Amino acid sequence: MCTSLSYMTEKNYFGRNFDYEISYNERVIITPRNYEFKFREIDDIKSHYAIIGIAAGIDEYPLYYDACNEKGLAIAGLNFPENAVYNEIKEDMVNIAQFELIPYILGCAGSIDEACNLLDEINLANINFSDKLPVSQLHWMLSDSSGKSIVVESLEDGLKIYDNPAGVLTNNPPFDKQLFYLNNFRSLSSKNPKNTFSKEFDLEEYSRGMGAIGLPGDLSSSSRFAKVAFTRANSLSDSDENSSVGQFFHILGSVEQQKGCTFIADPDLYEYTIYSSCYNTDEGILYYKTYNNAQITAVNLNNEDLDSNNLINYPLINEEQINLIN
């Protein structure tokens, strides 16, 4: 399970917590403009926008979990079990496999509006990546440099595109129900509340933060959605790069998962936050932290040869980097 986030200061920042029980040797992969994307049902694309993102450690294909292109459009795929529905091939549609959606959208679209134009013609086809990697049930959050965000879900009754005013996405239920869930917390505030319980009781304000009493703190997807939506909406940050990036990770940190707290299966299999990512979508810079390395690491898309035709790989730094000062 995961949490994605869009956050605007002077620039737009986008990223996610990747929560899972198994690592697939994730790495930063830069796809230059002339790397040939091969697709199962449509023509290959030989030239496209350059892309930076975090992907599974599979050499032959950039199997992106989240990514951003040189135009500032970013996307993340999140687990969506029991709800995602993929279709048989449709002759009158652009048939895209689930794992091809991120490369196709980021390779061809430079904004949310352009992405929506592509999505209007897409049929998400039920095609496995391989025998060992069957199709994953996902939905997606997209954001561009304007700060606009949408959610894309392939459901039994068709492909849905939702505006996302919260700038947040988690897993289940479908996004419209996630957004409706926020109605339960409309009384919450960053300020301490007045006593409206009863005039008969002189109730004390015994602590700071009492305006957020009732905000969920568990690790379920609905609770994480409410927690991050509240934190994001009330978050304050200076607009410089370091402050914006630092605050972005603090917001994601409000729902990060620690090993041992979300049991999956024996023996000792637990979901945890494998990595957290943050993209400066304006500048094409990817920042990340991993579970075993709290130091922020950065990779700049524009420091590479973007006219190459070869993938560029940077393994995630997973060893703790501690600054010893004496």
Question: Could you tell me how many residues make up the chain?
Answer: 326
Per the DSSP assignment, residues forming a β-bridge with 77 are 140
- Spatial distance between the Cα atoms of 22 and 20, rounded to a whole number of angstroms: 6
Cα dihedral 196→198→200→203 (10° resolution): -50
Say whether 2 is catalytic: yes
DSSP string computed for 49-105: --EEEEE-S-TTS--EEEEEETTS-EEEEEE-TTT---B---TTSEEEEGGGHHHHH
Q: Terminal CA-to-CA distance of the chain, rounded, Å?
A: 40
Dig out the tokens for 99 from the structure: 């794992």
Task: Let me know the angle formed at the C-alpha of 243 by 54 and 322, rounded to the nearest 5 degrees.
Answer: 65
Answer yes or no: are the C-beta atoms of 159 and 153 closer than 8 Å. yes
- Spatial distance between the Cα atoms of 278 and 162, rounded to a whole number of angstroms: 22
In 3D, which of 244, 225, 35 has the Cα closest to residue 141?
225
- Spatial distance between the Cα atoms of 239 and 245, rounded to a whole number of angstroms: 9
Answer yes or no: are the C-beta atoms of 274 and 18 closer than 8 Å. yes
How far, CA to CA in Å, does 260 sit from each of 34, 99, 227, 256, 257? Answer: 43, 30, 21, 12, 9
Q: Which of 2, 68, 116, 261 is catalytic?
A: 2
Active site residues: 2
